[in-house]
């Protein structure tokens, strides 16, 4: 015959039953919370801005030919001085102008004889301008024709003769653009949450994309388009 349970055993059983019930409830609640944490939405935020280039590089190139090497050097020096004088007249300083050694080619050493070749020596000259005065450079290019009156034909169609424009002040606009991209991403996420009858929670992860700088168009390389796309993942709640 079974012995009746003592009061102490009854109390112990009640505690065990209550503890197991609490544990079961806690597990259920934890599973529910875990499932809620799995509900996320990933969105991308875009920020774009047009800026003016702050650095300009202009390689002013011309060529000269002659059959006498000494005469060629003299002509090259005279025309180089005229190019430098032109740039200074446009408001540029010596610090912004760089002279390179002329590239002299002796065509008679090329291993073949061209009967139509009139000049033995050919020189290619580059006077480089590196400046932060972008507006002045744009204006100076419009007046380059004055050098033609001095017998200096400036190459302008070759790829190596094209002006180059750079934007090097990204750190100045970066914080505002990152904020704009993040705000844009949140707007998209909030709309998604409303459409799905949810509420937007905290940020789970955020990834800042690379800044991309491109010319606005082929005719305005001095105007740059700066672009960034950030990716943000938010939690969703009921």
Q: What is the CATH number of the domain that holds 177?
A: 3.30.110.170
Do 160 and 66 share a domain, yes or no? yes
For residue 30, being part of any structural domain is answered with no
For residue 1, being part of any structural domain is answered with no
Domain final residue pick, 140, 166, 192: 166
Query: What pLDDT, on the 0 to 100 scale, is given for residue 33?
Result: 44
For residue 213, being part of any structural domain is answered with yes
Segments in the chain below pLDDT 70: 1-37, 111-115, 156-160
Do 181 and 81 share a domain, yes or no? no
For residue 31, being part of any structural domain is answered with no
For residue 202, being part of any structural domain is answered with yes
For residue 12, being part of any structural domain is answered with no
For residue 22, being part of any structural domain is answered with no
> What does the angle CA 53 – CA 225 – CA 92 come to, to the nearest 5 degrees?
10
Do 60 and 141 share a domain, yes or no? yes
Query: What pLDDT, on the 0 to 100 scale, is given for residue 81?
Result: 96
For residue 18, being part of any structural domain is answered with no
Query: What pLDDT, on the 0 to 100 scale, is given for residue 113?
Result: 61
Do 180 and 98 share a domain, yes or no? no
How many domains would you assign to the chain? 2
> What does the angle CA 165 – CA 167 – CA 172 come to, to the nearest 5 degrees?
165
Do 183 and 162 share a domain, yes or no? no
List the alpha helices (DSSP H) in 38-68: none
Do 62 and 157 share a domain, yes or no? yes
Q: Which CA distances in Å does 123 have to 18, 113, 161, 176?
A: 99, 19, 16, 50
Do 179 and 136 share a domain, yes or no? no
Do 59 and 152 share a domain, yes or no? yes
Question: What's the domain range around 209?
Answer: 36-51+169-237
Is-contact 101 200, C-beta < 8 A?
no
């Amino acid at each position: 015959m079974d012995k009746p349970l003592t009061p102490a055993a009854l109390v112990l059983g009640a505690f065990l039953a209550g503890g197991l019930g609490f544990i079961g409830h806690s597990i259920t609640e934890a599973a529910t919370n875990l499932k809620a944490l799995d509900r996320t939405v990933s969105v991308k935020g875009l920020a774009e801005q047009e800026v003016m280039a702050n650095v300009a590089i202009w390689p002013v190139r011309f060529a000269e030919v002659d059959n006498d090497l000494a005469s060629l050097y003299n002509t090259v020096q005279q025309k180089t001085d005229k190019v430098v004088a032109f740039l200074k007249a446009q408001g540029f300083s010596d610090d912004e102008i760089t002279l390179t050694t002329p590239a002299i080619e002796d065509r008679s050493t090329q291993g073949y004889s061209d009967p139509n070749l009139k000049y033995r020596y050919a020189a290619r000259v580059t006077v480089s301008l590196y400046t932060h005065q972008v507006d002045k450079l744009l204006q100076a290019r419009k007046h380059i024709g004055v050098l033609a009156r001095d017998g200096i034909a400036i190459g302008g169609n070759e790829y190596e003769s094209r002006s180059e424009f750079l934007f090097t002040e990204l750190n100045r606009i970066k914080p505002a653009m990152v904020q704009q991209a993040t705000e844009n991403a949140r707007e998209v996420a909030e709309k998604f949450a409303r459409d799905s009858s949810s509420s937007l929670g905290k940020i789970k992860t955020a990834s800042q994309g690379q800044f991309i700088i491109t010319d606005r168009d082929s005719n305005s390389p001095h105007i740059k388009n700066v672009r960034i796309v950030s990716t943000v993942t938010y939690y969703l709640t009921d």
